[in-house]
Structure 1
């Protein structure tokens, strides 16, 4: 072989290596993949559960209905029986027909907006962890406002977390109004993704939306691109309304906030221990929230957030991980999608306290089940540990990688003349006898494969030489790198100064 030939081969190899190392031009596992392939319930079973839910609403109805809501229900076709309000089938199905089927959940950055509904799957966050797994000590401690802001800016860098709901409660902020204000302020300052929060009282909504408009630059700006969603539980299991939450819901609707109306019954405690009975009651309760919204504003953007939760019947403790909660949330997503409603379910609520094998098994099982079932918005799926009592920086970066793998599984396999590779097979067999470095392989490498940054694929000897790092160590280093370098400036300095002058902002960042 001549030097020129050798030089040509070397140059070609260098070009191939460069292509292999280049970032994919198209994300092979982008958020918003299509779900709905896993169907834990048959069509007749869904119908049976639905019919039971309608019967519960018609014959048992809802209790403790606030007067403002009772009047609207009665004028829309409900009837009163003693202290309970009963809902005829026709009224329930009319509200289902009026309800929003899809809507845009805006980001302050329009490129980060997502479409909610249909068959698209998005992983995000939720939770109200009162403890944070400390990056330095590896022990749990009370969550702070600084933690919330740090979680916000950490997830801001994570592609596969589609929206951010405050994942922890700032336990160092005692006043409820200051807590609600500072929570939203941390979201405004730390990310431009779609975000969500909760409100302790209805009277907190208006001043906080005023703060949001200040951040956006003028009064009424929020209504143009409502990027802040409210998480509310207006129904308390079993089968009754909570007046404070109802009033918060109505206040949020007055100000144009999209809603996630969350039903969070617990098996064997506030709902039947049987999975089918649980699904029937929980569906009836979430339909109660749907009717509440649509008798006031038909078609108002609401996520049908039917979250089945499980307790360990031996102890009464909440169990965030396991097969039961996985199949229940998958079934909930299936039922909501069958109704044509934007579905919200919960997953990745591991009971593990450490970033260990239990953590990985429980998170992957429940997240994959919810994704395959087609949950539109999958809450709690990033960063949560310890049965929702804890949040972890390391968990956020590990879960982001897990979401990518699930999106890749949802994407499936594209079968086309090009991907079948007939010509490539012939070329390899008649040529060099392998597919390494071929054009067909390089194209597939960029298009079809996800390459993790945290999962370890080294040989044992290489892993040993690197100090035998485990997933927790690698995730800790990745989280620290982001927190040390990512300091977003999403608030205009003048707007921030005005907010700090008018509100008791406690975040020193």
Structure 2
């Protein structure tokens, strides 16, 4: 039978214990890397059926437009050419899956920011190649520039719920492909120390960009700490390879650059409109990318980035938000994880142009679905708008809050003797009659609750007295404050000078 503790001595001992529990937290209550996998839109039998159809497509239909160097390697592993297509046997696909790492590290330039990806760990990051920016001053869209890219890079550097950064806008003021690739990498180098990703237009751009990185960090530094990941799409839907992208893939393999091989088919256009058929074809295409890497370097760190994209079948317009794209990316994450591969999917690709109710609804639904499904790397999850045509400084800040809420949801409820808190309940009932200010309450406040920076939790009268600000207004003001701060100092003066003497750097050029 439970007894009600009443002695002052025992009461004091409990207070001391509760005081220990109330010590400041050692981790973020919404720390990235929470465990997903609770949402499974597919049954085990359905995963097997999708996988079996993907294997059948690769072995029966095969892949088109396979570059000769790639086919030469694939033939040594059992692939065969029939007409103008290359058939990939199931045994080769299964060998590639078996050799692929189930987890690996994405390094930060600052090693403390390195993340481990794989299993059911969930990390939200960025992506995209928007060509427009929602201007902070005018509130309208305009072409994106190199300065915008750098500003986005340094803005996100301080966002605790973004695990890595992929260039989110195209520097449209760069006049040629080499200037674009070079200056994009430079903006990442200068603006952040977390893991980053970029793309290379041509294979010959890879080596000099790694040279630039090693001017900053020392000869051989990238081999020891490969903190840039390459985004590559070796496969073009439906079911064929792209020669230039395969060449870039081979150059990245040569330089030890981790890769995210991305399939981004569109329903009813470059892939079936039926969700199951789409998932089967898209899985086959991403498996073809895995095989392409495997025949050169078995076990190479590759993110299996199978991103289902949706179009509005009435108009043909890309739809970044909605139930279909949410469930398909969740299903893609589930199948990839089921195969034991490091999964990459996408979310938050809202069609909204303004930071409004549509913006929040579409981002929240898709990001939550991908997180609950256990997507290891969830791209596009911060900053994007206008069906990936635009990026917004305000959106980065608001999305960071959204991602904190999702990480907190994934963390779930910890149930143990301390959190059940029998003694604390007894003390509150027999003492003050409430839990406000109690030691357990104070401890939970620090450890268990997430407090968003831009949500309004004031009473209506207080909100009105403050001028009725909305989330966009609050985020816009904070973005201006961040961008008014000086250069973060991630690139020292001597290294910057050496890079500018060797390369044509446009950022900050006079």
Cα deviation 1:84-138 (Å, max 9, x = unaligned): 1111111110111011221110001111100011111000000000000000000
**Equivalent in the alignment of 2:321:** 321
Cα deviation 1:411-447 (Å, max 9, x = unaligned): 0000001101111111111111111111111111111
CA distance in 2, matches of 1:193, 1:221: 16
**Equivalent in the alignment of 2:77:** 76
Matches within 5 A, 1:10-49: 24-49=25-50
Q: Give 1:47 shift.
A: 0.4
2:100 is the counterpart of 1:99: yes
Cα deviation 1:344-401 (Å, max 9, x = unaligned): 0000000000000000000000000000000000000010000000000000000001
2:370 match: secondary structure? helix
**Equivalent in the alignment of 2:265:** 265
**Equivalent in the alignment of 2:170:** 169
Q: Give 1:486 shift.
A: 5.0
Matches within 5 A, 1:384-423: 384-423=384-423
2:306 is the counterpart of 1:306: yes
Counterpart contact for 1:33–1:120, Cα < 8 Å: yes
Q: Give 1:276 shift.
A: 0.2
CA distance in 2, matches of 1:296, 1:449: 47
CA distance in 1, matches of 2:465, 2:364: 29
Cα deviation 1:143-175 (Å, max 9, x = unaligned): 000000000000001011110000000000011
Counterpart contact for 1:26–1:446, Cα < 8 Å: no
**Equivalent in the alignment of 1:133:** 134
CA distance in 1, matches of 2:357, 2:284: 36
CA distance in 1, matches of 2:388, 2:195: 22
CA distance in 1, matches of 2:232, 2:486: 31
Report how many aligned residue pairs link the two structures: 490
**Equivalent in the alignment of 2:5:** none
CA distance in 1, matches of 2:91, 2:453: 53
Q: Give 1:221 shift.
A: 1.2
CA distance in 2, matches of 1:62, 1:99: 21
CA distance in 2, matches of 1:271, 1:402: 31
CA distance in 2, matches of 1:160, 1:117: 18
Counterpart contact for 1:153–1:486, Cα < 8 Å: no
- TM-score with structure 1 setting the length: 0.95
Greater shift, 268-277 or 473-482, is seen at 473-482
CA distance in 2, matches of 1:66, 1:222: 29
1:171 match: secondary structure? coil
CA distance in 2, matches of 1:88, 1:450: 49
1:391 match: secondary structure? strand
2:63 match: secondary structure? coil
Matches within 5 A, 1:271-310: 271-310=271-310
**Equivalent in the alignment of 2:482:** 482
Cα deviation 1:253-281 (Å, max 9, x = unaligned): 10010000000000000000000000000
**Equivalent in the alignment of 1:431:** 431
1:485 match: secondary structure? coil
**Equivalent in the alignment of 2:242:** 242
**Equivalent in the alignment of 2:208:** 207
1:475 match: secondary structure? helix
- TM-score with structure 2 setting the length: 0.95
Cα deviation 1:163-219 (Å, max 9, x = unaligned): 0000000000011101100000000000000000000000110111111111112x2
**Equivalent in the alignment of 2:3:** none
Q: Give 1:498 shift.
A: 0.8
Over the aligned positions, Cα root-mean-square deviation in angstroms equals: 1.3
Q: Which runs of 5+ in 1 are unaligned?
A: 1-15
Cα deviation 1:263-312 (Å, max 9, x = unaligned): 00000000000000000000000000000001100110000000000000
CA distance in 1, matches of 2:256, 2:242: 21
2:509 is the counterpart of 1:501: no
Q: Give 1:26 shift.
A: 2.8
Counterpart contact for 1:25–1:446, Cα < 8 Å: no
Matches within 5 A, 1:84-233: 84-217=85-218, 219-233=219-233
Cα distance change on mapping 1:208 and 1:235 into 2, 3 Å? same
Cα distance change on mapping 1:23 and 1:136 into 2, 3 Å? farther
CA distance in 1, matches of 2:167, 2:431: 57
